[in-house]
Amino acid sequence: MKGNGRSTPTPRSTSTRSIQWPFIGVVVLLVVLIILTPNLFSSSTSGLQTRAQLIVERPAHDNNTSFYVESIGTSTLYASITVGVAPLPSWPYLGSMSTLGNWTWTNATETLVLVAASATNPLAINVTVKYLASSGVSTEYVGAYGFDLNATTLTLDAVNLLPGGSAPSASTPLVDLPIFLLLAIKTPTGSSP
């Protein structure tokens, strides 16, 4: 203390200053992440906002199999979702999807979920989902599956499965439905035609 009755502050020790640097680094990192996160999700590369899946459900005591096509994890709207359902002439089906006739198509634009239902057995389903960003970048996802149902089991076949799609298990008990099948990228992300 000096003679005037006031105390002078003592300088902080260097150990106190060095303890603060990690906290400052964390704050700077958080600020950078907050600023960059919207840009990461709006980039032109394929990401979570452009993923789609097919959900297969058969409610108890219902003759219809329901197919839901939806985005995963976000509220992204798709430019279009198209689901085609057609009867299969035999099971297992060894032909090509292009040779099937009698397709029943359900289409939607700017939607999050599209639902189609069918009582046909065995049946084929052909799904196309197109995402178009405001920047003109488009990505298309597809899946083509064959389904056969009996009283207790849903049997699946990946008719035209592309790399990146979910390969279905051979059979699933109806009590274990729904199942989730990730659709594959048909066209790489790039400029729309």
Q: What are the structure tokens assigned to 148, written together?
A: 């056969």
Provide the pLDDT for residue 46: 42
Q: What are the structure tokens assigned to 20, written together?
A: 């603060």
Question: So what's the architecture of 48-191 in CATH?
Answer: Sandwich (2.60)
Task: Give the type of residue at 30.
Answer: L
Provide the pLDDT for residue 165: 66
Provide the pLDDT for residue 187: 64
pLDDT along the chain (193 residues), means of 10: 58 60 74 60 44 86 86 76 92 83 90 88 91 77 88 80 65 89 73 41
What sign does the CA torsion over 103, 180, 41, 45 have?
negative
Q: What are the structure tokens assigned to 109, written together?
A: 């634009």
Q: How far are the Cα atoms of 64, 176, 187 from residue 59, in angstroms, in the given order? A: 8, 11, 34
The rounded distance, in Å, linking the Cα atoms of 187 and 110 is 19
Q: What are the structure tokens assigned to 88, written together?
A: 């299969």
Residue extents of the structural domains in the chain = 48-191
Burial of 47 (0-12, 13-18, 19+ CB in 10 A): middle
Q: How far are the Cα atoms of 75, 142, 150, 172 from residue 51, in angstroms, in the given order? A: 11, 11, 31, 24
Query: Shortest CA distance to 78 belongs to which of 99, 49, 38?
Result: 49
Residue carrying the six token digits 């920047």: 135
Query: Shortest CA distance to 111 belongs to which of 132, 89, 86?
Result: 132
What does the CA dihedral 145, 54, 110, 137 come to, rounded to 10 degrees?
Answer: -80
